[in-house]
Structure 1
Amino acid sequence: MTWQMADIWENIAAAIPEKPAIVDGNKRYNWAEYENRAARVAQVLVDHGLDAGAKLSIYSFNSAEYLETQFGAFKARVCPVNVNYRYLEAELTHVINNSDSEALVFQAQFAPRVAAIRDQLDQVKLFLEIDDGSGEHLEGAISYEAALHAAKPMPPIERSDDDLYMLYTGGTTGMPKGVMYDHKSFASALLAKGFEMREMEPPTDSSSFGPLVQQLHAAGATGRSIPACPIMHGTGMWIGAMIPHSLGGCVILFDNSHFNPVALWQLAENEKVTDITIVGDVFAKPMLAALDDAKTAGKTFDLSALQMMGSSGVMWSTEVKRGLLDYIPHMAIVDSMSSTEGSMGSSITTAENVNIDKTAKFEMNPTTKVLTEEGRPVAPGSGEMGLICNGGMVPLGYYKDEAKSAATFKTFDGVRYSIPGDFATVEEDGSITLLGRGSACINSGGEKIFPEEVEEALKTHDSVYDCLVVGIPDDRFGQKITAVLSLSEGAVFDEASLTAHVRTQLADYKTPRAILVVNTVPRAANGKAGYKAAKETALKMLEPVAA
């Protein structure tokens, strides 16, 4: 057996066939049913001419069909490609064509958008449509459920550790890029991290998963996970679905077309959920507010089963962590510093250590280093800034982009690292404090300012609900630090108070020179910062002032 994900999950399905694998509304599949449906997907792909190494795009909200299609693609040695459901025609066409996808599995509600670009998708020979009750339909598309019903489950085949796995990331500039991994490097590193988070020894080979999950179920130690964020992104898929599934757990799908924190807490109570995966404050703040509102109304949610809440990729402030732990003191909060290009470090917050926790401070992975741009290690406690270099789970590169691959994945002293552009300092105790992505760095009066640092200072003020900080062209300073923020419910905007508050935490040159209030701070569906949109908003709002 290989470390190919299909081999691992087939091993688990054979070991615990009757145990729950997926809950999606009224759909409930055990592991035998999950494996059977994925095998039918694999046969449909083969019947339509998709050979080993072919690509398949998945265009869907969180759904059982999304997970089945991914599993089925792995079974057939086809590489699934994630499509952001917020993409409009240009980006949608780019991802499908750039990935060389030969099939598109999509929810029917997206049929009009697919129809608009269909004549540009020359390589796609299979359109598989998921009935989502929307009433939409793409002419000539095949019904997903009908295709599965007609297909026989494809028997397991021999697969390779070198089979390609790919996740498209929007990045900070340009069109989305496909980050490539081989299955062995990806699965062995990701799942080892998942086992480590639960203080368990990871399996030494894929055939060990079956016996291990049998033991976990016998001990009542398996998980029930809700990826509250989109599974089209790495955080939701990797932490919220792939790791729990590889531990023999059940993945409960949450309707993510519109985030409803009350519905999330109710689902967690109803399904006795053990794990919830979110993306930083953009999810955690409304979740905390929902708990506060429930308390005021005299209602409580039974969250006694909840053991862990995980996040990755976006700032998760200490104040919000404290608030959540006040309501759920028995759980652990796992905040990972990572990107599609790899994991760099993490912090674990519990009720016991919440008062000493610091936002953006992480323990480095053993394979992570902070190096200067010349490749020299940053000395702990020196205050020097360096690039975070992630070893271990390092991608093969970006699909069909050799130049970007060479710039991001580099070798120092014989060790290959992923360097997506995040800067940090190294504390005396060896931990790292994340400063931010270099591409978003603001240069004001010759000083470098990382937006995340200023954003975090602003968000510690009670009146600020969310914010992004951008650099606006300025004749005097080159760039003017500008905050685009939304207010907490009932708060009154007081620019002088906010400015004074930031000055108590940061050097004066990092204080915003303009603070703009908006109803909603622009963010992607996974909570990541929409700096381009924030800058456009700031320029538009400042234009009359400049005139």
Structure 2
Amino acid sequence: MADVPSSSRDLDRANYAAVWDAVARAVPDRVAVRADGAAVTYAQFEQTAARLAATFVAHGLGVDSTVAIFMYNRVEYLTTLYAAYKIGAIPVNINFRYQGAELADLLEMSRPSALVYPAGLAAAVVDAADCVTLPGLVLVVPDPVPPGVPTGPGVPFATALDADPLPAQPCGPEHKIFMFTGGTTGRPKAVVWTHGNLFDSQQFSIYGSLPVDPPTSLDDVTRIAARDDLPATVCLPLPPMMHATALFNVMNAMVLGGTVVFLPAARLDPGAAVRAIAEHGVTRLVVAGNAIVGPLVDVLDAGAGADVSGLTTVLSSGMVWSDGLKRRLLAHAPHATLVDIIGSSEGGPFAYGVVRGPQDLPCHPRLAPGAVVLAPDRTPVEEVGQTGVLAYRGAMPLGYHDDPERTAETYPVIDGVRHVVPGDWVRVLGDGYVEMLGRGSGVVNTGGEKVYPAEVEKVLLAMPGVVDAVVLGLPDPRWGEVVTAVVVAAPGAGVTAQDVQDEVGRRLAGYKKPRRVHLVDEVQRSPSGKVDMHRLRRRLTDAAEPPGLVDPVVAPDRPGRTR
């Protein structure tokens, strides 16, 4: 594995559109994307993006215009991203599970000049249009339409490809990329990366598993991508590209002149994923911890008959990935390096857990170059056994869009050096290794999706017959955490656990539904109205069947997925 430096000065001048343009010139006939049985070469990919970019410009889009992408993983997602990059526009990642009101909120915040979505999600767009004015350019990607879904506004995506290709435009490292994240506020906020800083921060993920000297210039980047003697990079992202892990790793694969494979369905089909790995010779698999690896190894253990031994790298970030599932996966992919990245939309990487074989288990993450553990007084924590929060001092985002207060809080300047400190607590193990303890806030991370309890509580407290409610996350071996609701109903109201789940599912995205519902007579609160969350969490975790509680557990909807 190459020893990639934390920063290469010429590389922080990079822009993804300029890099991809150069790769397309260097390897025009190489396959860039495989999807729906078709193969798209780099030359075709670049030309299609250039035509879409021309349409964007014709509709007044340019540098810092925003383009909303409300879509599953598919080739049009990547084309839209590339086209936006070509003109310095800012793609806006929107969770495709959002319903109308949630979509409207994000459109209002991002104020896009264009919206691209598949026909199958038209219902949410129609509902959002009742609350917010849609942008002047709305493109509809052809997609199977479920029964009862209305025809949505907009024109066919294909019509935007009739324009002559836009000639290459100046693309600078200062151009921006938004990564909307739920964070701890409930209301999504955009982390603002520049192309240059993002490219610089991704050097390990791009080149760390290849037998090459790390590039020191953009010419080196193109030369590495064009080399035929290097192992082929074939990347299959299983989480949705609306999340940073999948998006950034797909972008990285294209920097290498690799091939990106998309599955044909919007939700995870582990059998189809295993078959695609074997059929297309996937070398880089992007997962979301146990939530995705669990179903995959279940299929493999059952004797799928598919050879996945060609996998060389499996990457996950921000999700629980147990040693047991790592061991089971290695039994089928013995040559794979498993990389468990501790990072966040706000920046990083903070640490890597790298497993090259069973001998590396149990796996503990090791601090990345530029990462440090800080005490509450913001001094480094080095003594074994002590705890602190992860911080990073390398290339990082500019901060949160239009939120200087939260930017100052998350990106403090310490002893003259800017840090990013999202709030993840760890215990120091020595020799750079740490043990993850979790984030100090109450945000619930379920299958890679962030759920803010107050947003769900607001829906529950508006239900007829509900007099009190508390929402929290409880540990789960597959999903990391499951959303759990403790609900107090008025006597005789007849509120059931199913009612609770149905109401949240009607108002919010499916992954925000409580998967465990406890109906209780009372939630103990202090005189100030606060709940002792540590005590409540301990009670629900330690007691399999707490007295007086009903605990119907419903299998979570697939939180991470691709179309």
Smaller-chain TM-score bracket: 0.7 to 0.9
In the TM superposition, what whole-angstrom CA distance separates every residue of 1:191-245 from its partner, at most 9, and x where no partner exists?
Answer: 3432124353332232332222112xx2141211100110111111112x11111
Answer yes or no: is 1:525 the counterpart of 2:535: no
Secondary structure of 1:210's partner?
Answer: helix
Task: Please list, as runs of the form range in 1=range in 2, the aligned pairs for 1:152-163 lying within 5 A after superposition.
Answer: 152-163=164-175
TM-score of the aligned structures, taking structure 1 as reference length: 0.81
Equivalent AA in structure 1 for residue 248 of structure 2: W
* Closer/same/farther in 2, CA of residues 465 and 156 from structure 1, 3 Å limit: closer
Q: Cα distance, 1:133 vs. partner? A: 3.4
Tell me the distance in 1 between the aligned counterparts of 2:29 and 2:171: 26
Q: Cα distance, 1:90 vs. partner? A: 2.4
Q: Cα distance, 1:526 vs. partner? A: 6.3
Task: Please list, as runs of the form range in 1=range in 2, the aligned pairs for 1:161-240 lying within 5 A after superposition.
Answer: 161-198=173-210, 200-215=212-227, 218-239=228-249
Q: How many residues align?
A: 479
Equivalent AA in structure 1 for residue 160 of structure 2: A
Equivalent AA in structure 1 for residue 47 of structure 2: N
Find the counterpart in structure 1 of residue 515 from structure 2: none
Tell me the distance in 2 between the aligned counterparts of 1:117 and 1:194: 38
Find the counterpart in structure 2 of residue 545 from structure 1: none
Contact 1:469 1:481 in 2 (8 A): no
Tell me the distance in 2 between the aligned counterparts of 1:43 and 1:103: 13
1:403 to 387, 402, 405: 405
Q: Cα distance, 1:121 vs. partner? A: 3.7
Tell me the distance in 1 between the aligned counterparts of 2:394 and 2:180: 20
Identity %: 28
Find the counterpart in structure 1 of residue 510 from structure 2: none
1:322 to 313, 317, 327: 327
Find the counterpart in structure 2 of residue 366 from structure 1: 369
Find the counterpart in structure 1 of residue 536 from structure 2: 480
Secondary structure of 2:537's partner?
Answer: strand
Task: Please list, as runs of the form range in 1=range in 2, the aligned pairs for 1:24-423 lying within 5 A after superposition.
Answer: 24-122=35-133, 124-134=135-145, 138=151, 141-148=154-161, 150-198=162-210, 200-215=212-227, 218-239=228-249, 241-255=250-264, 257-294=266-303, 299-342=304-347, 343-354=349-360, 356-358=361-363, 361-381=364-384, 383-423=385-425
Tell me the distance in 2 between the aligned counterparts of 1:172 and 1:100: 22
Contact 2:47 2:165 in 1 (8 A): yes
Contact 1:106 1:128 in 2 (8 A): yes
Contact 2:266 2:561 in 1 (8 A): no
Equivalent AA in structure 1 for residue 179 of structure 2: L
Tell me the distance in 1 between the aligned counterparts of 2:419 and 2:51: 39
* Closer/same/farther in 2, CA of residues 258 and 522 from structure 1, 3 Å limit: closer
Tell me the distance in 2 between the aligned counterparts of 1:526 and 1:110: 15
Secondary structure of 1:320's partner?
Answer: helix
Q: Which runs of 4+ in 1 moved over 6 A?
A: 469-472, 511-515
Equivalent AA in structure 2 for residue 371 of structure 1: L
In the TM superposition, what whole-angstrom CA distance separates every residue of 1:389-433 from its partner, at most 9, and x where no partner exists?
Answer: 122132111111122111111111111111111111111222111
Equivalent AA in structure 2 for residue 393 of structure 1: A
Select the structure with the greater relative contact order (CA < 8 A; seq sep ≥ 6). Answer: 2
Tell me the distance in 2 between the aligned counterparts of 1:470 and 1:431: 32
* Closer/same/farther in 2, CA of residues 514 and 280 from structure 1, 3 Å limit: farther
Contact 1:8 1:207 in 2 (8 A): no
Answer yes or no: is 1:19 the counterpart of 2:30: yes
Contact 2:370 2:393 in 1 (8 A): yes
Q: Cα distance, 1:157 vs. partner? A: 1.0
In structure 1, list runs of 5 or more residues that go unmatched: 443-450, 486-494, 500-510, 528-547
Task: Please list, as runs of the form range in 1=range in 2, the aligned pairs for 1:420-459 lying within 5 A after superposition.
Answer: 420-440=422-442, 455=475, 459=477
Q: Cα distance, 1:468 vs. partner? A: 3.8
Secondary structure of 1:154's partner?
Answer: coil
Contact 1:57 1:81 in 2 (8 A): yes
Tell me the distance in 1 between the aligned counterparts of 2:362 and 2:190: 35
Tell me the distance in 2 between the aligned counterparts of 1:341 and 1:512: 41
Find the counterpart in structure 2 of residue 492 from structure 1: none
Q: Cα distance, 1:312 vs. partner? A: 0.6
Contact 2:320 2:479 in 1 (8 A): no
* Closer/same/farther in 2, CA of residues 139 and 234 from structure 1, 3 Å limit: closer
